[in-house]
Amino acid sequence: GIDAAEDLVGSLANSCLSSSSLQSFRRFGNTLTEHFHQLQPWHKTLKIIGAEFGTSVLSYFIFLKWLLNFNIFSFLINFGFITIPQFLAAEPNNLSFTGLELLTGAGYFQQTVLYYGSYTNATISKVENSASYNMQLAYIFTVGTYFVICFLILLFSMARLFSRNFVNPQARSVNASKLLCTWDFNITNEKAVKLQQKNLLTQIKRQSAMLVLPVIVSLLNTLIPFFFSWLGHLENFQTPGQHIYVTIIRNIILKISIVGILCYYWLNIVATSESQCWETLVGQDIYRLVLVDFIFCLLGSFFGEFLRRIIGTTVCVSLGLPEFDIGRNVLDLIYAQTLTWIGILFSPLLPGIQMIAFLIVFFVKKVSLMRNCQPPCKVWRTAQMMTSFIFLLFCPSFLGVLSVIGVTVWRLKPSEECGPFRGLPSMYAAVAEWIQMLESYTAWKWVVWIYHNLISSELFFFIISTFVLVVTYLYWQIIQARRTMTKLLHNQIINAGKDKKFLLQKLQKVQRSKRSSSALGGRGQQVSLTAQLLLFNCLVQVHGVLQLCKQPAGLGKGCASNFI
Amino acid sequence: MRWKSKPPCSQKSQEPTSLSLCLRLFHRYRDLAPQLVPLDYTDKPAVTLPYELIGSMPELKDNPFRQRIAEVFSEHGDGNMTLDDFLDMFSVLSEMAPRDLKAYYAFKIYDFNNDDYICKSDLEKTVNKLTRNELTPEEISLVCEKVIYEADVDNDGKLSLADFQHMIVRAPDFLSTFHIRI
Interface predicted TM-score (ipTM) of this complex, two decimals: 0.79
Q: What is the dihedral of CA B161, B164, B166, B168, to 10 degrees?
A: -130
Say how many domains are in chain A.
2
**Domain assignment of residue A10, yes or no:** no
Whether residues A292 and A392 fall in one domain: yes
Whether residues A259 and A128 fall in one domain: yes
Of the listed ranges A367-376, A380-389, B147-156, the one predicted with least confidence: A380-389
B-chain residue closest to A195, CA distance = B131
**Domain assignment of residue A437, yes or no:** no
**Domain assignment of residue A435, yes or no:** no
The set of residues, in sequence order, having a beta carbon less than 8 Å from that of A3 and lying 6+ positions away, is none
Is A185:B179 a contact under the CB 8 Å cutoff? yes
Whether residues A378 and A485 fall in one domain: no
- Inter-chain CB proximity B17 and A1 less than 8 Å: yes
- Inter-chain CB proximity A204 and B135 less than 8 Å: yes
Q: Among the three residues A423, A448, A480, which one is the final residue of a domain in this structure?
A: A423
Whether residues A503 and A404 fall in one domain: no
Write the residue in A9, A172, A177 that is nearest to B41 by C-beta. Answer: A9
* pLDDT at residue A518, rounded to an integer: 76
Which residue of A63, A204, A206 to mutate against B (max B Cβ within 10 Å)? Answer: A204
**Domain assignment of residue A4, yes or no:** no
**Domain assignment of residue A523, yes or no:** no
* pLDDT at residue A277, rounded to an integer: 84
How would you classify the pairing of strands A133-134 and A123-124? antiparallel
Distance, CA of A429 to CA of A435 (rounded, Å): 10
Q: Which of A160-169, A195-204, A234-243, A439-448: highest mean pLDDT?
A: A439-448
| Chain B CB contacts of A13 below 8 Å | 39-42
* pLDDT at residue A229, rounded to an integer: 41
List the one residue out of A34, A373, A192, A380 whose CA is nearest residue B176.
A380
Whether residues A355 and A476 fall in one domain: no
- Inter-chain CB proximity B181 and A51 less than 8 Å: yes
More confident residue, A36 or A200: A200
* pLDDT at residue A467, rounded to an integer: 96
Q: Among the three residues A378, A405, A423, which one is the final residue of a domain in this structure?
A: A423
Is A358:A350 a contact under the CB 8 Å cutoff? no
Whether residues A250 and A167 fall in one domain: yes
User: Please, which residues bridge with residue B159 across strands?
Assistant: B118
Whether residues A298 and A245 fall in one domain: yes
Distance, CA of A122 to CA of A132 (rounded, Å): 10
* pLDDT at residue A142, rounded to an integer: 93
Q: Among the three residues A400, A423, A446, which one is the final residue of a domain in this structure?
A: A423
Question: Looking at chain B, how many residues does it have?
Answer: 182
As a whole number of Å, the end-to-end CA separation of chain A is 57
Whether residues A242 and A324 fall in one domain: yes
Query: CA of A174: how far to CAs of A181, B116, B118, in Å?
Result: 10, 23, 18
Q: At residue A339, does pLDDT exceed 70?
A: yes
Is B127:A179 a contact under the CB 8 Å cutoff? yes
User: Could you give phi then psi for residue A323, rounded to 5 degrees?
Assistant: -100, 155
As a whole number of Å, the end-to-end CA separation of chain B is 17
Of the listed ranges A374-383, A436-445, A461-470, the one predicted with least confidence: A374-383
**Domain assignment of residue A24, yes or no:** no
Q: Which B residues in the span 107-166 are in contact with A, Cβ-Cβ below 8 Å?
A: 110, 123, 126-127, 130-132, 134-135, 138-139, 142-143, 146-147, 150-151, 153-156, 164
Is A153:A127 a contact under the CB 8 Å cutoff? no
Q: At residue A145, does pLDDT exceed 70?
A: yes
Q: Is A288 exposed, middle or buried (0-12, 13-18, 19+ CB in 10 A)?
A: middle
Q: Is the dihedral of CA B169, B172, B177, B179 positive or negative?
A: positive
Write the residue in A13, A34, A211 that is nearest to B39 by C-beta. Answer: A13
- Inter-chain CB proximity B155 and A498 less than 8 Å: yes
More confident residue, A128 or A314: A314
Write the residue in B26, B151, B170 that is nearest to A9 by C-beta. Answer: B26
Q: b or e along A342-375 (b: 16 or more beta carbons within 10 Å of the residue's beta carbon)?
A: bbbbbbbbbbbbbbebbeebbeebbebbeebbbb
* pLDDT at residue B112, rounded to an integer: 92
* pLDDT at residue B105, rounded to an integer: 92
Whether residues A103 and A44 fall in one domain: yes
In what helix (H) or strand (E) does residue A362 lie, and over which residues does it extend? helix A350-372
Query: CA of A40: how far to CAs of A17, A43, A362, in Å?
Result: 32, 6, 16
Whether residues A398 and A486 fall in one domain: no
- A145 secondary structure, DSSP code: H
Write the residue in A165, A193, A501 that is nearest to B62 by C-beta. Answer: A193
Q: How far is A301 from chain B (nearest CA, A)?
A: 27
* pLDDT at residue A134, rounded to an integer: 86
Query: CA of A244: how far to CAs of A56, A83, A308, A334, in Å?
Result: 14, 43, 20, 17
Q: How far is A545 from chain B (nearest CA, A)?
A: 14
User: Please, which residues bridge with residue A374 across strands?
Assistant: A323
Q: Which A residues in the span 32-61 are in contact with B, Cβ-Cβ below 8 Å?
A: 33-34, 36-37, 47, 50-51, 55
Q: How far is A83 from chain B (nearest CA, A)?
A: 40
What integer is the mean pLDDT of A357-386?
A: 84
* pLDDT at residue A509, rounded to an integer: 92
Confidence band for A16, pLDDT divided at 50, 70 and 90:
very low
Domain with A107 in it: 39-423
Confidence band for B177, pLDDT divided at 50, 70 and 90:
confident
Q: At residue A382, does pLDDT exceed 50?
A: yes
In A133-173, alpha helices (H): 135-165
User: How large is the C-alpha radius of gyration of chain A?
Assistant: 34
Residue at A464: amino acid letter: I
Q: Which of A3-17, A208-222, B74-88: highest mean pLDDT?
A: B74-88
* pLDDT at residue A523, rounded to an integer: 53
The three-class DSSP label of residue A223 is coil
**Domain assignment of residue A444, yes or no:** no
* pLDDT at residue A553, rounded to an integer: 41
Count of A-B CB contacts under 8 Å = 193
Q: Find the helix packing angle between B83-92 and B19-32, rounded to 10°.
A: 130
pLDDT tens digits for B80-126? Answer: 999 889 999 998 998 888 888 999 999 999 999 999 899 999 999 99
Q: What is the dihedral of CA A263, A267, A273, A275, to 10 degrees?
A: 80
**Domain assignment of residue A466, yes or no:** yes
Whether residues A51 and A96 fall in one domain: yes
Distance, CA of B40 to CA of A8 (rounded, Å): 10
The set of residues, in sequence order, having a beta carbon less than 8 Å from that of B141 and lying 6+ positions away, is B124
List the one residue out of B18, B49, B44, B46 whose CA is nearest residue B31.
B49
* pLDDT at residue A144, rounded to an integer: 93
Q: At residue A334, does pLDDT exceed 80?
A: yes
* pLDDT at residue A256, rounded to an integer: 85
* pLDDT at residue A342, rounded to an integer: 93
Is A413:A237 a contact under the CB 8 Å cutoff? no
Confidence band for A27, pLDDT divided at 50, 70 and 90:
low
| Chain A CB contacts of B130 below 8 Å | 179, 183, 197, 200
Q: How far is A481 from chain B (nearest CA, A)?
A: 20
| Chain A CB contacts of B154 below 8 Å | 493-494, 496-497, 500
Whether residues A379 and A492 fall in one domain: no
Of the listed ranges A60-74, A424-438, B54-68, B157-171, the one predicted with least confidence: B157-171
List the one residue out of B113, B151, B114 whose CA is nearest residue B5.
B114
* pLDDT at residue B13, rounded to an integer: 38
* pLDDT at residue A520, rounded to an integer: 65
pLDDT tens digits for B27-80? Answer: 899 898 889 888 888 888 888 999 999 989 988 888 889 999 999 999 888 889
DSSP per residue, chain B: ---SS--SS-TT------HHHHHHHHHHHHHH-TTTS-S--TT-----B-HHHHHTSTTTTT-TTHHHHHHHHSSSSSS-B-HHHHHHHHHHTSTTS-HHHHHHHHHHHH-TT-SSSB-HHHHHHHHHHHHTT-S-HHHHHHHHHHHHHHH-SS-SSSB-HHHHHHHHHT-TTHHHHS----
